[in-house]
A and B are shown apart, each in its own frame.
Chain A
């Protein structure tokens, strides 16, 4: 090997070195995530997970907010694994001034001591939104056991019963769930009959998934009590919960309900519903933008109830915006977060094709937009009566991560009865308290 370095090689190495240093600077710039302070009214950076449509809407909101307030507002769209990226930024004290936190992570992220307690700001005259404006229950996710408020719900998604009207008609279902609900006949028996009819066509009637958003819904909608006032799981001994659980197991055994477990992406429950292979789906409003592009008729109702007309409590998914204790302009960050979740802020973000339900009352026009779905007004009523992620899961991230896997194992073993399944789940939940 020649020990001498030619001039050409030297130049090449030099260029590489400069390039590497440049790339290093770029990388560090990408990782900083901090905000630049602007003289005058301050500035705010904020971050959220977002699909392309949402990112576009968020950018528009930022531009609108900046034009109204004069505060330089920068949105950072986080693609990929939001939680991992947020965690890295928090560990490096480099998170945005305000950022989204999922309902299942709020309690843990609050422990980072990098979130501002918003209680006093909300009760001050400066905030355009107050605690009482939010649907009851949603703020529970953002509060610590000692009552501090570390986030504000940005919007929410209650569990509703979507149905494919065309598929039900082909299955010989004479009255749709919406007609039954309006007539006060949307009961467990009515749902069983509907599922019986669909099963005979060879299509799937309904799918049960693992996780907190599914199972508790079917217990509480039939009058069951899943958790007591102390947050302890009690559905193994609660009579109505056990009746509902027995019904679920009967439907699973008959094939009226399919257990979906953790269906992979692309083979998920929503994909089957869009493809006309599944007659009903119990999801939030987030599927509406996709449904608008499809040809079949659809509508929503609450999950069936004992009386056939009531709206019973069901899970409501939510996310919150939190303010970073290291925000460069604290006043600007607080004002932005409060404005973002205020009635005006939610209306701006969720109107014209939004995929969530406002977390504050008085915005029915958002969910009834275009009469899609026809019973869209029910979204708000269902959200008002719903409950967020159970406290035991919100405050124990390991249990929250294990719970769907454990439920999946129990259901796939096919060795459990309604009672033994309930007892094992309750033991798992209460053991994690």
Chain B
């Protein structure tokens, strides 16, 4: 027995066992990478590569086809000192401030009510989700009609109840709110579905226990539903803020390449500067700044979440 044990743990056997384990591990890793390769190659070619290239461009002068030259921080200085770009940044923040809270509150309210919709729940869910799967171009076509001051039924409705009917897309005060309305309308369905999923995951036992303890609807909402829904709220707030900072499609479809100053957002400016003005360096610098801002905002949200997000077991 003792001899057999000493043979089993002899240095030569140990080395052989380690070597076999290493080979097995290496094979497993290689197999893993082989299976990941299609995704990894796509990630490197279409995500990491362009990201690195954009960062290089941010420090370069390049018109799209000539030779690149090192620009230092000149592109960043140009972005920061351009009054139109500052205005577009303010427009983007204004759009986010209008769109994100309104969309989230509306979606939560609808999802909360849909929990009680019984058999009609699926119908309503499909109904609300339809705009999400409608192309932005089709959405823009519908809203161009709704925002047309001459024929808009929306404006007729406002006039009929004694409210002023704005020239939505031409009046500097209303153009960003108009984009926010379209964004809320189109994005509502997705958020409703996410909130409904979150609400369905709340253990019924907790709500029943609260009932037994005599808690009212408001108390249950405040003390149980919202805390347990906080991971969904966090997820939606992060993705909504990122999405609203990147708003571009409606503006491009509504205004083409001649959007007036009050209607421009950061991503619209990036496209204009790169593809209309042939200045890829400045466009990349602006994109890099947007990336850093979004990264910082997300980091802050993730840091603060420890204080208000509750995860169930």
Contacts and interface: CB of A to CB of B under 8 A. Distances in A.
Interface of A: 13, 16-17, 20-21, 24, 81, 83-84, 87, 90-91, 108, 111-114, 210-211, 261-267, 272, 277, 397-398, 400-402, 404-405, 408-409, 412
Contact of B63 (A16, A111, A401): A111
Nearest to A399: B277
A87 B64 contact: yes
Contacts of B124: none
Nearest to A265: B256
Given A90-B65, A111-B66, A266-B148, A17 B38 contact: yes
B259 interface: yes
Nearest to A260: B170
B237 interface: no
Contacts of B72: none
A83 B274 CA distance: 11
B169 interface: yes
B278 interface: yes
21 contacts: A13-B35, A16-B38, A17-B37, A17-B38, A87-B65, A90-B64, A91-B64, A111-B63, A112-B64, A113-B66, A262-B258, A263-B169, A264-B147, A264-B255, A265-B254, A266-B141, A398-B277, A401-B272, A405-B258, A405-B260, A405-B261
B63 A262 contact: no
The secondary structure that dominates the B interface is loop
Contacts of B84: 402, 405
Nearest to B277: A398
Interface in B260-296: 260-261, 271-272, 274-279
Nearest first, the 8 A-B pairs at minimum CB distance are A266-B144, A112-B65, A84-B275, A262-B258, A398-B277, A20-B38, A401-B276, A264-B254
Given A81-B275, A83-B275, A412-B172, A112 B260 contact: no
Contacts of A267: 144, 147-148, 169
Contacts, number: 85
Contact of A87 (B172, B260, B275): B275
B63 A108 contact: yes
Interface of B: 35, 37-38, 42, 63-66, 84, 141, 144-145, 147-148, 150, 169-170, 172, 253-261, 271-272, 274-279
B278 A412 contact: no
A392 to B, nearest CB: 15
A262 B172 CA distance: 12
A21 B42 CA distance: 10
Contacts of B256: 265
Nearest to B263: A262
Contacts of A16: 38
Contacts of A17: 37-38
A211 B279 contact: no
Contacts of A263: 169-170
A20 B46 CA distance: 13
Contact of A397 (B66, B148, B278): B278
Contact of B278 (A13, A108, A264, A409): A108
A261 B35 CA distance: 55
Most buried by B among A21, A87, A404: A87
Contact of B258 (A21, A84, A404): A404
Contacts of A24: 42
A411 B121 CA distance: 51
Nearest to B31: A5
Contact of A409 (B145, B255, B261): B261
A401 B279 CA distance: 12
A90 B66 CA distance: 10
A111 B62 CA distance: 12
Contacts of A397: 276-278
Nearest to A263: B170
Most buried by B among A90, A262, A404: A262
Nearest to A104: B276
B260 A262 contact: yes
A13 B35 CA distance: 8
Given A398-B277, A405-B260, A266 B145 contact: yes
Given A20-B38, A261-B170, A265-B144, 12 more contacts: A83-B276, A84-B275, A90-B64, A90-B65, A111-B63, A211-B258, A262-B259, A264-B254, A264-B255, A402-B84, A404-B258, A408-B261
A265 B255 contact: yes
Contacts of A272: 150
A400 B278 CA distance: 12
A90 B278 CA distance: 12
Contacts of A261: 170, 260
A412 B276 CA distance: 24
Nearest to B258: A262
A429 B145 CA distance: 36
Contacts of B276: 83, 397, 400-401
Contacts of B257: 401
B64 A401 contact: no
Contact of B66 (A112, A265, A400): A112
Contacts of A408: 260-261
Contact of B42 (A13, A20, A262, A402): A20
Contacts of B147: 264, 267
B255 to A, nearest CB: 5
Contacts of B254: 264-265
A136 B253 CA distance: 36
A377 B257 CA distance: 33
Contacts of A13: 35
B182 to A, nearest CB: 12
Given A20-B38, A211-B258, A412-B260, A265 B253 contact: yes
Contacts of A266: 141, 144-145, 148
Contact of A277 (B64, B150, B258): B150
Nearest to B178: A264
Contacts of A400: 276
Contacts of A264: 144, 147, 169, 254-255
Contacts of B260: 261-262, 405, 408-409, 412
A266 B145 CA distance: 8
Contacts of B272: 401
A21 B255 contact: no
Nearest to B271: A84
A111 B272 CA distance: 19
Nearest to A266: B144
A88 to B, nearest CB: 8
